[in-house]
């Protein structure tokens, strides 16, 4: 009896274990699909935006000339340090003066002689005129005295011109700075004979304050500007250039820290390049910018009161262009083609392809696959966040 009881218990335990194993195997083979990935979505920011052209250009000096010796002589002094910033009128070079001082003295002596001759001619003419009134001389004598006086007057003019010319040549022996600027290294040494067969280059001077920035605008951009002005009821005039601001930034700088204004616009397009040359003027009192630098240029061309902006890191690109991932019907992700505009901080202007009511994936972009379903969470578009960061929650998931 006891043996039968033990046998029954063993059978019961065996069947129970088999039932448990069968249940485990049945549970392990069943597939439970994972939930849709969670993403955060936000609507585009709508705000007024000033529209700009972002171009590239180069800086150029306001003035840049070669300093030349205009008279012949030996260099007697170099009166500046190479690379020095000088004021207009500063003496840079000295050329021997002795010969030109002697020529000036000679011209002045000749002028004094001619003035003395004029006095005698004037007296003789006056005497002949008085004698003619008394009818004791002939008209021929009066005419001769008048001719002699005219010759004396002409000789004085010639002598005065010689004095002025000698004064100018003497002045050329001191080579002065024609404007405020930086002078390059000297190309001649003291004792060098210059001006023998023509002007001799001594150095160069460059004015870097203020500074120009040249850049080119395409034909399409020119037409866009004209259309924008026409919509506003304005026409472009050269006199309006100082009122149009411009900004530039160097390659090592963030943004466009240097402010100036437009200074010149070419009156015609370059047919070979299809571009229009534009020039802007910038203060450079600290001489931080040098002529010839590559610069980024930003010029305002219009205003959009209701521009749509999204975070720049939410925009993707492929062979077809730019796109954003948007929430479609039944929480299914769809890819929307967009035309992007200028950047505003961490935001990017969307010119077309997006509506204010669209919900854009701003976080969890890697999990959002076009055509797949997601679990969306609506938040506010935060310009300072990124695709992997946190953002302020607006509403919870539907």
Contact 310, 347 (CB under 8 A): yes
Cβ(222)–Cβ(267) below 8 Å: no
Average pLDDT of span 255-274: 91
| Residue 394 predicted with pLDDT over 50 | no
For position 23, what pLDDT does the model report? 52
pLDDT of residue 225: 78
pLDDT grade, residue 343 (50/70/90)? confident
Q: How many C-alpha atoms does 347 have within 13 Å on its Cβ side?
A: 17
Percent of the chain predicted with pLDDT > 90:
57
**377: region left, alpha or beta (phi > 0 left; psi from -120 to 50 alpha):** beta
For the segment 107-116, the average pLDDT, to the nearest whole number, is 93
Q: Mean pLDDT across the stretch 303-317?
A: 90
* Cβ-contact 175, 77 below 8 angstroms: no
Element (H, E) at 150: helix 139-171
Who has greater pLDDT, 244 or 177? 177
Nearest Cα neighbor of 310 from 352, 335, 357, 346 is: 346
Residue pLDDT, tens place only, 44-103:
999 999 888 889 999 999 999 999 999 999 999 999 999 999 999 999 999 999 999 999
Q: How far is Cα 241 from Cα 377, in angstroms, rounded to an integer?
A: 49
pLDDT score, position 51: 86
The alpha carbons of the chain give a radius of gyration, in whole angstroms, of 44
pLDDT at residue 11, rounded to an integer:
52
| Domains of the chain and CATH, by start | 38-51+305-378 (2.40.420.20), 54-61+207-298 (2.40.30.170), 100-172 (1.10.287)
pLDDT at 392 over 60: no
Peptide bond into 210 cis (omega under 30): yes
Choice among 31-35, 120-124, 219-223 with the minimum mean pLDDT: 31-35
> Phi and psi of 94, rounded to 5°?
-125, 130
């Amino acid at each position: 009896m006891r043996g039968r009881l033990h046998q029954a218990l063993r059978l019961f335990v065996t069947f129970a274990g088999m039932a448990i194993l069968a249940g485990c195997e049945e549970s392990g083979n069943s597939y439970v699909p994972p939930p849709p990935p969670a993403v955060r979505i936000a609507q585009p920011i709508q705000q007024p935006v000033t529209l700009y052209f972002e171009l590239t250009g180069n800086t150029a000096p306001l003035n840049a000339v070669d300093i030349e010796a205009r008279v012949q002589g030996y260099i007697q002094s170099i009166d500046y340090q190479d690379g020095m910033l000088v004021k207009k009128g500063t003496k840079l070079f000295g050329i021997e003066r002795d010969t030109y001082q002697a020529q000036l003295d000679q011209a002045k002596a000749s002028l004094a002689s001619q003035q003395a001759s004029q006095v005698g001619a004037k007296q003789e003419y006056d005497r002949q005129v008085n004698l003619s009134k008394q009818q004791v001389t002939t008209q021929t004598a009066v005419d001769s005295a008048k001719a002699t006086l005219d010759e004396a007057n002409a000789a004085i003019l010639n002598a005065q011109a010689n004095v002025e010319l000698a004064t100018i040549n003497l002045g050329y022996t001191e080579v002065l700075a024609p404007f405020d600027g930086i002078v390059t290294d000297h190309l001649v040494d003291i004792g060098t004979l210059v001006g023998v067969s023509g002007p001799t280059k001594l150095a160069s001077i460059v004015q870097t304050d203020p500074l120009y920035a040249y850049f080119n605008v395409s034909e399409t951009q020119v037409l866009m500007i004209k259309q924008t002005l026409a919509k506003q009821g304005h026409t472009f005039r050269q006199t309006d250039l100082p009122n149009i601001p411009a900004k530039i930034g160097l390659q090592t700088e963030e943004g466009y820290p240097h402010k100036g204004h437009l200074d010149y616009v070419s009156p015609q397009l370059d047919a070979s390049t299809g571009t229009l040359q534009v020039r802007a003027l910038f203060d450079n009192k600290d001489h931080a910018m040098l002529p010839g630098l590559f610069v980024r240029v930003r010029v305002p061309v219009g205003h959009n009161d209701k521009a749509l902006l999204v975070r720049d890191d939410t925009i993707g690109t492929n062979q077809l262009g730019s796109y954003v991932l948007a929430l479609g019907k039944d929480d299914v992700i769809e890819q929307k083609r967009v035309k992007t505009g200028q950047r505003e901080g961490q935001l990017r202007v969307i010119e077309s392809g997006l509506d204010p009511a669209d919900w854009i994936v701003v976080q969890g972009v890697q999990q959002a696959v076009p055509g797949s379903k997601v679990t969306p969470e609506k938040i506010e578009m935060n310009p300072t966040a990124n695709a992997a960061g946190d953002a302020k929650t607006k509403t919870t998931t539907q």
